[in-house]
Chains A and B, each alone.
Chain A
Amino acid sequence: MRKANIIISLILLGFASFYAYLIANLPARDLPNTLGAAFVPWVLAGILAGLSVILLIHSIFAANGNQKVSLPGRELLGITFLLILIASYIKLMEFFGFVTVSIVFLTILTWLAGSRKPVEIAAFSVTTAILVYLLFHKFFQVQLPTGIFF
């Protein structure tokens, strides 16, 4: 936990400096008699930097507790994969259409979530995709991409 906190406070300090850099480059265009567009961001950047320093000092001097916190590579890989999966789902949807891509997406997800029965996966993916499409697109009038298929 101690090591993690030290790294986190350093990352946060970096983030605060990056934010401060962005604030410094904000265009000036302000109304008279009130605080400018940069005021609140500056205050926030200051508070974040201050808190990160406190966390840093606190962690350096804190006893190394027996709580272990880590982000194993397997989990990191898992999240990254999930994000890529969802991103490609959205990208492909615009081209092929919601229902088609959703069936594939749901198949992969159901398999990942532990289902191993092909019939179950297929039946579930197809019905869910069609139901969600009918519900949102037809009933709620949400314009889902229909692409070249559906």
Chain B
Amino acid sequence: MDIALAALFDVLQIENILASMAGVFFGLFIGATPGLTISLGMVLLLPLTFALSPVTAFCLLLGLYSSGFTGGSISAILLNIPGTPSAAATAIDGHAMAKNGRAGEAIGTAVTASFFGGMFSLVCLVLIAPTIAKFALRFGAPELCALVLLGLTLICSFGQKSIIKGLISGVIGLIFMTVGLDPMVGTPRFTFGQVQLQAGISFLPALIGLFAIPQVVNGIIAGVRVIPTYHGKVAGVLPKLSNLVKLAKSMLLGACIGTGVGAIPGAGGPIAVFLSYDYISRVSKNKGEFGKGTPEGVAAPESANNGVAGGAMIPMLTLGIPGDPITAILLGALMIQGLTPGPLLFENNGQFVYSVFWAFLVANVLTLILTFATIKLWVRIHQVPSRILLPIITILCIVGSYSLRNTFFDTGVMLFFGVIGYLMNKFRFPIVPLLLAIILGPALEEHLRMSLIISQGSYAIFFTHPISLTFLVIALFSFTLPLVGPLIRKKSAEEDQDIIKKTV
């Protein structure tokens, strides 16, 4: 207990609070700008941390880590451009809320839910990290394959009005992701002799293109406003207590899924976010509201988002294994500070580990306060005229997609997916299935084939592993329900529409 208090005292030093605050500001900015990733932000801050004490360094980095996701949601809600891949699910209902003039409420909900998810995962990290880590280690190739498959079945739920079109959109996404080096043998596939294509299609440029380019094209060609205007006050910034109680279920569900999936090395945050969005839309009382702008549709993925952050730190601190690319950089920061990450970290540097907990807490609190304080400012972005905003968005998308790997090839990828996104909107093909497929596709094939190498060619491996079997059963239900559901319940045609429709 003494070391916990000593660690708290340490974190509350003025320079550490300032570092945390700087990290939070930086994170909000990075997250909100399409193309600038949290990983890039961390790498830029790393050289600065050489000179800092370990605690100050982690205050800075964790500030960035916890606020980056929140920043990503702000642009998702206001502009329908997810600043981070994990914010793609938030964009669905968040932007719909903004269109209805509830942007302030949407951001308020997002921030509160993020805070909840972050706190929840922190509590798990402090209390039951070893248990979760042990469980997460049981996720091998067949388990990951089943989890990804489960994620892909969500394609059906996001199938908007036409399930066929949803499925086509998903399959096309999967096909695009087969471009590049084969994940097992390294044979170039569908690269047309281009070395650039060997790396495959990076999903960030694709994501930026799918969301942002249709906005730009519509804005310039058809004069459609990028940001919905509304008059009157920014209402409901601070969520009412009664509303929060209503959202408790969404936030808890999101936090659990986020923390759990985050702790599995190699699973990835976006799965958690989409899974939680999908599940809350199934168990919620007002299913029909999803896609039209319901706070529940913002709360669940946002809570999952920051749950992933704490979840990914579980294997990092207990096992010395990063849960995601960002915690990999945090591990690098540990090494730079001369601390050896790994199972011994807690024994050798107990007080430092407590400092990390406190620093994460402080970062979450500061993100909450700073975002609330600036919501009115953010929301006012709709007063910026389109003729200014459109060029800014365009140039940021171009430079942003370039900056991921310092190549204009990725800008080309961004434009390609931009055109696809535009055509899909036009001909009523839902975009979210394509997005899901792009995020999950490579992992599916890789883990499928890896499982078979491990089992020496036997498919039984998927059914003899209990976790994998469980996921497969859930996946089967989740795949068939949206297809069969409307047929079984032969009610009025309108109701059928509502069941299938989760408009994007």
Contact = CB atoms under 8 A, between A and B. Distances in A.
B190 interface: yes
Interface in A85-140: 86, 89-90, 102, 105-106, 109-110, 112-115, 124-125, 128-129, 132, 136, 139-140
Interface in B404-433: 406, 408, 411, 415, 419, 422-423, 426-428
Contact of A132 (B184, B396, B422): B396
A144 interface: yes
B187 A29 contact: yes
B456 A102 contact: no
Residue among A4, A125, A132, A139 facing the most chain B CB atoms (10 A cut-off): A132
A113 B168 contact: no
Residue among A40, A55, A105, A140 facing the most chain B CB atoms (10 A cut-off): A40
B452 A34 contact: yes
A44 B442 CA distance: 13
Contact of A31 (B221, B444, B453): B453
Interface residues of B, number: 57
B399 interface: yes
A47 B168 CA distance: 8
B344 interface: no
19 contacts: A8-B427, A12-B168, A34-B452, A35-B452, A40-B178, A40-B444, A44-B171, A44-B175, A45-B175, A58-B164, A69-B426, A69-B428, A83-B415, A90-B398, A90-B408, A113-B387, A125-B391, A128-B392, A144-B402
Contacts of A44: 171, 174-175, 178
B350 interface: no
Interface in B177-215: 178, 182, 184-185, 187, 189-190
B164 A51 contact: yes
Contacts of A115: 387-388
B181 to A, nearest CB: 10
Contact of B395 (A29, A54, A78, A105): A105
B36 interface: yes
A115 B389 CA distance: 11
A59 B223 CA distance: 32
Given A48-B172, A140-B36, 16 more contacts: A5-B427, A26-B189, A33-B452, A44-B175, A44-B178, A47-B167, A47-B171, A51-B171, A54-B164, A86-B411, A114-B223, A128-B392, A128-B395, A141-B44, A142-B403, A143-B406
Contacts of B99: none
Contacts, number: 143
A24 interface: no
B7 to A, nearest CB: 32
A137 B456 CA distance: 50
A148 interface: no
B445 interface: yes
Given A69-B426, A79-B217, A115-B387, A140 B40 contact: yes
Interface string B105-141: 0000000000000000000000000000000000000
B171 A109 contact: no
**Chain A interface main SS type:** helix
Contacts of A8: 427
Contacts of B452: 33-35
A71 interface: yes
Chain A contact-residue range equals 35 or more
Contact of B220 (A26, A54, A82, A141): A82
A139 B448 CA distance: 42
Contacts of A48: 168, 171-172, 175
Given A27-B187, A114-B387, A79 B428 contact: no
A75 to B, nearest CB: 6
Interface string A38-58: 001100110110011011001
A115 to B, nearest CB: 4
B394 interface: yes
A124 B168 contact: no
A41 B448 CA distance: 13
A144 B398 CA distance: 11
A5 B387 CA distance: 35
Interface in A1-41: 1, 4-5, 8, 12, 19, 22, 26-27, 29-31, 33-35, 37, 40-41
B386 interface: yes
Nearest to A41: B178
Interface in B426-478: 426-428, 444-445, 448-450, 452-453, 456-457
Contacts of A102: 395
A130 B320 CA distance: 42
B347 to A, nearest CB: 38
Given A51-B167, A113-B220, A113-B386, A22 B44 contact: no
Contacts of A89: 398
Nearest to B169: A51
B408 A71 contact: no
B390 interface: yes
A37 to B, nearest CB: 4
